[in-house]
Amino acid sequence: MIQFPNCKINLGLSILEKRTDGYHELETVFYPIALNDVVEILPAHHNAALVTFTHTGIPVPGSTEHNLCIKAYYLLRKDFPTLPPIQMHLHKNIPMGAGLGGGSSDGTTVLKMLNEQFGLLLTNQQLIDYATQLGSDCPFFVFDKACHAKGRGEILSPFDCDLSNYQIILLHPGIHISTAWAFGQLKPHAKEKSIATIVAQPINTWKAELINDFEAPVFEAHPILSELKDYCYEQTAIYASMSGSGSSLFGIFPKDIHFEKPSFHDALRIDII
């Protein structure tokens, strides 16, 4: 079985308070974007390890045991001990440490694939419960459509937001932002106006009101990101923002815009959706 996990962007991101469990209360709107990794799962035909894992594309750092794809398999196998050994291959195309949720999408996709491939008969709610154990962004990828998110990102409700009449341009500056570091720079506080209210407004109002709280500290640490956001507006973006805790940025443009690559960032990767 082969699937193509996609990524997400955040339409606004408010960090409202620090919780007693160490997590942060937040609000955002997740929106799925058609930039994809590739995951293939095959039954294993030998008596080797339970999971044989290989990967290509963008290098995946760290030990294999910490990969969310592997964790997803073992999470299900705790409750389904007859889950057979598998061969799994990941082709990585979504940049990591970029605020796009690529790893979360990969792990959640593995949950869904195993459920379908081996007839586990898990409901969407059960998949969401498992995904929550993998990570805060993971439950969104069970829905994989625009959702309003609260809690630590796991309290989700479908949200009426359709950007199909626009062109979305993703900018990947190749800077890895530590999520833990980014959270440590913030002073959580309640907002006068909810993100849900702002996103429900006409898109031409978003520039003045729709804010990602992480932008201020991340832009201070990496001024090139602020320059790239300004450049999006120079190129007629209707709205531009950083996604998640960064470092990727996105611009929402009129359809069929001719976007010129900025001359001040040679290594910039651009994906047009």
The residues carrying an active-site annotation are 8, 137
- Please say whether the beta carbons of 119 and 112 come within 8 A: no
- Please say whether the beta carbons of 98 and 248 come within 8 A: yes
Chain center to CA of 165: 22
E-assigned strands of 118-272? 147-150, 155-158, 166-172, 239-242, 249-254, 269-272
In the block, residue with structure tokens 């095959």: 42
Among residues 38, 48, 118, 52, the alpha carbon closest in space to that of 87 is found at: 52
Cis peptide before 247 (omega within 30 of 0): yes
Structure-block tokens of residue 172: 């990947």
In the block, residue with structure tokens 């794809």: 69
Alpha-carbon span 143 to 185, nearest angstrom: 30
